[in-house]
Each structure stands twice: as C-alpha cells, then as structure tokens.
Structure 1
C-alpha cells in the first residue's frame, strides 16, 4: 500500500497533472463568478507548465543531480570491488523486436556502461536487477539476455529478478554479497544520488558509475533551445521525481 501511495503521489505532483488540476480549479472558480482568482490560477498554471518545458529551467533543475557524482572513466583500482551492479530501468518483453530494441533508452545505456566497466574486470560477477510479471518477463532477464548476446559468459551473470524499486534492489544486493560489500553501481546520472543513498542505508559501499546524462546536451543555443518542448518537460519531471524520491528516503529511515 505504501508503494502505491508513493507512486500516486509522485505522479500527481508532476508538472502536467499538477498544472492541469490547477487550471481546472481556476476554470471552475471563474464559473462561480470569481473571475480574478480564476484567471490568475489558469494563467499561473500555463506559465509554470511553459517554464517546466523550457530548456534553461529543465537543465538548471536536473544538472545538479547529474553532476553530484563524477563519471567513472577508469576502474577504481584502490577499491575492493566485489561486483558490477546494473540497476533496472524499463523494457518491453512482449515485443518481437531484438533484445536491444526491447530495452528502454535508459536501460540500454546503463547496460552498455555496466559492460564497459565489467570488461575491465571480467572475473567479477555482473549483477543485473529488476522485477517483472514472470520469470522470463523481468528486467533482470532482459539485461541477462542482452549481456549474454554481447559476450558475457552466463556463469558471470547474476539475475536479481524480485526487486521492483531501488530500495529492494539494494536489499537484494546486500543479501547476496553481505554488509559492507563494495560494488560498482551503474544507473542513470539523475538517479544516482537516490540509488547511492539506498545502497548506503542497506549497509553497502557503492562506488558510483553514472551514465545516461540528459541535462545540457543541446548542441549550441539555437532557436530550438529557447522554445518549450516535451523533451524538456520530461527532464523537469525526472528532476522532480528524483527530488521526491530523496525526500521519501528521509521519511522511510
């Protein structure tokens, strides 16, 4: 029940539904004769939604999260790493596409970074994580299938197929490796601060290996950069979602 409430709260606090509710509230208030208040709410909703979909705002919100942990360009030789852990994203197991096509953008990039790092220490296990509705429908299974197709021996791949969120992923890794284990943690850069916190709470020592950067990817500052767009709105949503997730950790622990 808590997970459902948390998911619904995060969904309703995203810019599009929140501003839609604000706009509808303003419209109803205006219908009741409170024109100034109603107009103010409707205009505010439209302006805030435009700002949320504007690249300078979206980048300003997302970039601090993505830059909290530096990219891991070389293997951390000074650390006693016990495994490379790739956190789950999204995939579409029911599609008839190739395995790489069924992975979402974030999942494909996370796995690619995980494999890049694992190939520097192929003696270590590659832990791939993420649940799903059935044994061959889990995110972990999709990762494992893709990793095997890309040359990772099956005996090096460990599927953590039960976790459905980051906290559960951290607990599953802790149950497998034990408390105090140092792991190379691969996930999207915006998700990394929350992921690191969950792994630390679980008693692990994560070494951040962020990837899948979204902020400040514009090539120059042409007209398109200054026009509000759906991709920029998604970046703002990502920043707000991760901020809410970090806040939820404080309540949970």
Structure 2
C-alpha cells in the first residue's frame, strides 16, 4: 500500500501534472470567483514555467545537477581495468508485447541501460549480467524483458541472472547483495539516476563501480533553433531532473534505508 501511495504521489508531483493542476485552479478562479488577479497569476505562472522547462539551456542545466560527474562513459570515469565478476543493470521503463521485437519492449531509459550493460559485458565476457526489475501489470518482469534483449543480441543464457522481485532501487540493492555480496561490481543505470542509486548500494556496504548510461544533458554544440524553441523532448529532461530531486528528498528522510524489506527470493539463472 505504501509503495503504491508513493508512486501516485510522485506522479502527481511531476512538473506537467502539477502545472496543469495549478493552471486548472487558476482557471476556476477566473471563471467562478472574484479572485481574478490570483487566477491570472496562477495561469501565467504555469504557462511561463512550462515554457522555460521546455527550453534546452534551462532543461539541461537542471539535468546536469543530477548527472554531474556521471555525464561520461565508464572508461573515462574509471580508466583502471578492474577484475569484474558481475555487471548489474537496473530496471526502468518497459512493457511486454510478444509481437514486438525484444528491444521495442524497453522504453524510456531501459534500452540505453541494457545496451550499455551488454557493451560492458563484451569487455568482461566472464562476468555475469544481472538484470533487475519487477513485473508490474505485465506478463513477465522488467528483468526478463531485458534478458530477452540480451539473448537476442548474442549474450549466452548462462551469463544472465534475472531478479524479478524488486520494485524500486532500494529493493534492487537488497536483492543484488544476496548474489554479489561485498565484491566490486559494475552498476549500470541512467546517469541522472546514478548518484541516488549508488547511495542505496553503499548503504548496504557494497562496492559499486559506476557505469552510467543514457546521458541526456547536452553540452556539445546544437543548432540555434534547437536551443531556443520549446520542445517536449527537453521538457522531459526537466521532468527527469525534478524526479531525481524529489527522489533524493525521499531517500534522505527515510527512517533507515539499510534495513531490508520482506521480499521473497526470485532469482532465475
């Protein structure tokens, strides 16, 4: 119940639903009350905020606050070659339609995470690839969908471990610990999610080596019209930055994120 409530509240606090709600309140004030000035202020605030969050310089500046030093690939962050036995790829957005090619079922950030995990596996072919992520409302789990993609790209089935129980990053850390223990491992997740994810694993006294994927904040040159015209693509960058900000606040106020949740083991090798 608490998990579901957390998801509903976090969804409501995302920029677009929140700004739509604020503008709706403003419209109610304009149409049905005498508080015209307040209504105009709320509608104007919503419009201006949506505009600013849709501009590349604003959106990517916000996103860099969460991507930070992770806006580089693994080899640049860790030039020293490590003895790696496990590559852990955290779950993200997915669906499952058996009529689609496997990779089409990984949406949002997931496909970039999985492909980066497979790329790293090619450098460490003796390592095990651990995919995480629960089932949600689908027939199979996020981890199993990721495994299907890896198999379709030539990764051996014996090199894959799926953890289908975890519903969020905290639970992923608990389940991964049961396999990896205290030995170093590559942690693959989105660059903007890496700082928060790393804290969950370090809280378990684990030793993740950051291998960020899905870098989004653009610091290389762009065409002028790409920088100064509003775009839903760059609005999604602002939304991602806000999501990580809210997630970090929640992580910091939790009673004790080192305590494991009561989860049943569901490891398929």
Q: Provide TM-score, normalisation by structure 2.
A: 0.86
Q: How many residues align?
A: 252
Aligned to 1:39: 40
Across the aligned residues of Structure 1 and Structure 2, the Cα RMSD in angstroms comes to: 2.1
| Residues 1:159 and 1:55: Cα distance change in structure 2 (over 3 Å) | same
Shift of 1:241: 0.4
Shift of 1:48: 1.1
Any residues of structure 2 matched to 1:1-253 within 5 Å, and which? 1-30=1-30, 31-69=32-70, 70-73=72-75, 77=80, 79-133=82-136, 137-178=140-181, 180-216=182-218, 220-252=222-254, 253=256
Q: How many Å separate the matches in 2 of 1:3 and 1:42?
A: 32
Shift of 1:57: 1.0
**Gap runs ≥5 in structure 2:** 257-269
Q: Is the 8 A contact 2:85 2:127 kept in 1?
A: yes
| Residues 1:225 and 1:148: Cα distance change in structure 2 (over 3 Å) | same
Q: How many Å separate the matches in 2 of 1:174 and 1:99?
A: 28
Q: Which deviates more from structure 2 when the two are superposed, residues 129-138 or residues 168-177?
A: 129-138
**Gap runs ≥5 in structure 1:** none
Q: Is the 8 A contact 2:55 2:234 kept in 1?
A: yes
Shift of 1:67: 2.6
Q: How many Å separate the matches in 2 of 1:41 and 1:92?
A: 36
Partner-residue secondary structure (3-state), 1:190: helix
Q: Provide TM-score, normalisation by structure 1.
A: 0.91
Q: Is the 8 A contact 1:88 1:139 kept in 2?
A: yes
| Residues 1:40 and 1:132: Cα distance change in structure 2 (over 3 Å) | same
Shift of 1:207: 0.6
Q: Deviations over 1:212-248 (max 9, x none)?
A: 1111167523223211111111111100001111111
Shift of 1:102: 2.1
Runs of 4 or more, structure 1, over 6 Å off, are: none
Q: How many Å separate the matches in 1 of 2:9 and 2:102?
A: 33
Partner-residue secondary structure (3-state), 1:81: coil
Q: Which deviates more from structure 2 when the two are superposed, residues 238-247 or residues 105-114?
A: 105-114
